[in-house]
Chains A and B, each alone.
Chain A
Amino acid sequence: MNKTILAALTMGLFSLQAYAADTVKIALTGPFTGGSAPMGVSMRDGAKLAIDEINRAGGIQVGARKMKIEVIERDDEAKNERGALIAQELASMDDLSGVIGTVNTGVVLAGDKYFQEKGLTKIITPAAGSASMTQWSKAGVKDLSIFRFSADDGIQASMVVEEAINRRLNKVAILHDSTNYGVSGRDDLLNQIKSQGNKLQVVATEKFNIGDKDMTAQLLKAKLSGAQAILIWGIGPEMAAVSNGMAKLSMKVPLIGGWTLSMSNYIDNAGKNGNGTMMPQTFIEDPITPKARSFIDSYHKAYGVTRIPSPMSAAQGYDAVYVFAAAVKQAKSTDTHKIKDALEDLKEPVKGVIATWKHPYSKWDPANEQTHEAFRRAQAVMGMVQDGRVVFANKTDRQRLMKSAGK
């Protein structure tokens, strides 16, 4: 009896090994629990949706044969030290083709050096902090295996400032949280105001801490200084407290900020006070194109939800997998170094749900991080919260996207 079990087990083991050699191994990392979970989980689920589609069609064409994608998932809990440990573990795997994920810029900074040391190809999505890529240009790295698939904070800050100018506002107040993310967001905003011609006058700059719920003091300062809009950089729960505080003080000025304003923990906690809040988005859960419709429907069906927790994280995860798969196909190999080379020079356009990606990356140039950044201003739109969902803030964006998809 025991022998049969043993035999079965060994056979299982062998067949597993044989199976492993036939797959492309990709690791998905991100916070799947905790405050950043809406983004991490959506990213992972969007990516797995793409992987399922690819596998159902037989897998990726790698040279002469088709190989299925095998997923390794790791939850970094949005903690830097967990992220560093996971990065070390993944970097030590010999047959790993690449890594996709990471939501928190701090985790990127703690972990990515291990991938770079090993030359393991990683696509960062949806972490947006500028430092994730500038750390490599500052270090003068000649050859980089880290790519980003996310609209970085620079793009976002420029859109926030642009929106305020377009709405003919003059005086703005900047509110930000005291974390790295909030402080660098404030600097990005100030830089953008300067580079867009100093059309906005910053009448108040206030900060708040993680966990603060009473924003009366900060908001009163903004109100008394005559701010016509509040530009904000922080994460969901505190920004919801800002919205609720604004309602309490009857402040009816627009709130514009980073894409974190689309997190479900902002939208849910702000409730009706969140209506009208604007933030840059790469994807809006609005079936304006057939591709978007099928993506949204299959996400809802696969995960039994009526609302994607973070639609843009999901769409970015989905598209990132297709971009990566295209690189594997072009490299004709599961070798991570060859995939990196292919990513830097993708020949075939990749049809994604956000856009059709034509040559998203080029050879890394330490003087220009844009070589490893896929997103430009054109791939981002302004979103607005309305009754618990994020919709297009400007009709023109919606029409532009419909048109470009129709081509």
Chain B
Amino acid sequence: MYTLLIVQLAVSGALMGMVYALIAYGFQLTFATSKSINFGQGELVMLSALFSLTLIDTGLPYWLVVPGGMLFGVVLGLFVERAGVRLALEQKSEGWILLTIILGLLGFSAAENIWGRDDRPFPTPIPSDPVHIFGIDVTPLELSVAIGVLAVMGLVELFKRKTLLGKAFEAVSADRDAAQLMGISATRTIQLSYGLSGLVAALAGILVAPITTVGPTMASVLILKAFSVAVVAGLDSGFGVVLIGLFLGALESLTSFYLGSGWREAPGLVLLILALAVRPNGVFGKASIRKV
């Protein structure tokens, strides 16, 4: 009974952790190619979810809404790259930090004006009635999150390893200047990485929406956790984010049970501090050697 309880707590938390991991993966994708991240990533998650909700309202079936929402995410990602990142990178400035924050704020205001500030339910054909697996309760909805996260990350990794375009992606990640000398367009590749980053953000939004409800503030909590996960795992760790995401989610759930619900946020922050103090490149990160 007692172990079952721990497992139940850990599983429930870990399933939420998968969402942190997916958003963190979005950070990684752009960091790999351009050493920049979109600080408005949470708004991308939220805007894509709201857009998908609008698609549902028009009567589109769910299996069309998902790709529709993801396409919207790609467009947003490309827009962020063009408007907020490209110029700053060309001038080797850190302006993208401020620009992506501003774009995020802009997205937030837009969402408030277009969709209002209320949290709304996100209808989904995936049932939310619990099923019992080995004595613990999970909902198919939660399982769909886990499956969706692993599937999209697997596909993106496969794409990076097996296709020519993906190899270019890896090359730019490894050494931008050398890749450019080999005739790979770094700008194109960075563009691609932002598009992919928007895609995973959108999917994260669509997957988590039925659980968290949809509204302008839906991602504000998620994004902080996702950022912790990305930093703790290391911004270039690939699947490392999944492990850290699972771990953090489970830890949160267990902490709030054993230490009291007021301490829920604590482990994430402690983990972040520890990681920065002990392994600044992340638990799964590689120490980058910079040759001058």
A residues apposed to B, CB below 8 Å: 33-35, 37-38, 178, 206-209, 211-214, 216-218, 220-221, 224, 236-237, 240, 244, 247-250, 265, 268-269, 271
Contacts and interface: CB of A to CB of B under 8 A. Distances in A.
B212 interface: yes
A34 B117 contact: yes
Interface residues of B, number: 33
17 contacts: A34-B117, A35-B119, A211-B217, A213-B212, A217-B9, A217-B13, A217-B254, A220-B257, A221-B257, A236-B119, A237-B213, A247-B128, A248-B128, A248-B138, A249-B137, A250-B137, A271-B121
B229 to A, nearest CB: 16
B130 A37 contact: no
Nearest to B221: A211
Given A213-B211, A213-B212, A206 B128 contact: no
B250 to A, nearest CB: 11
Contacts of B109: none
B292 to A, nearest CB: 45
Give 3 nearest A-B pairs by CB, closest first: A217-B257, A216-B12, A217-B256
B118 A37 contact: yes
B54 interface: no
Among B119, B128, B217, chain A packs the most CB atoms within 10 A around the CB of B119
Interface in B244-282: 253-254, 256-257, 260-262, 264-265
A214 B137 contact: no
B118 A207 contact: no
B256 to A, nearest CB: 4
A137 to B, nearest CB: 31
Nearest to A221: B257
B116 interface: yes
Interface string B130-145: 1000000111000000
Nearest to B214: A269
Among B8, B139, B256, chain A packs the most CB atoms within 10 A around the CB of B256
Nearest to B262: A207
B129 interface: yes
A272 B146 CA distance: 25
Contacts of A240: 213
A216 B8 CA distance: 9
Given A213-B211, A220-B5, A248-B130, A178 B118 contact: no
Contact of B9 (A34, A220, A248): A220
Interface string B1-39: 000010011001100100000000000000000000000
Nearest to B265: A209
Contacts of A37: 117-118
Contacts of B180: none
Interface string B197-222: 00000000000000111000100110
Contacts of A211: 217, 220-221
B120 interface: yes
Among B9, B138, B260, chain A packs the most CB atoms within 10 A around the CB of B260
Nearest to B210: A244
A214 B12 contact: yes
Nearest to A78: B117
A217 B253 contact: yes
Interface in B95-143: 116-121, 128-130, 137-139
B262 A216 contact: no
Nearest to B212: A213
A13 B128 CA distance: 60
A38 B13 CA distance: 32
B120 A214 contact: no
Contact of A265 (B118, B137, B217): B118
Among B5, B121, B220, chain A packs the most CB atoms within 10 A around the CB of B121
A262 to B, nearest CB: 16
B76 to A, nearest CB: 23
A249 B117 contact: no
Contact of A269 (B12, B116, B121, B256): B121
Given A213-B212, A216-B13, A178 B262 contact: yes
B117 A33 contact: yes
Given A212-B264, A216-B9, A269 B130 contact: no
Given A220-B5, A250-B130, 16 more contacts: A34-B118, A35-B117, A178-B262, A211-B217, A211-B220, A214-B13, A216-B8, A217-B256, A217-B257, A217-B261, A217-B264, A224-B5, A237-B213, A248-B137, A249-B137, A269-B213
B121 A268 contact: yes
A216 B253 contact: yes
A214 B253 contact: yes
A206 B117 contact: no
Contact of A248 (B139, B212, B262): B139
A211 B211 CA distance: 12
Contact of A268 (B120, B253, B254, B262): B120
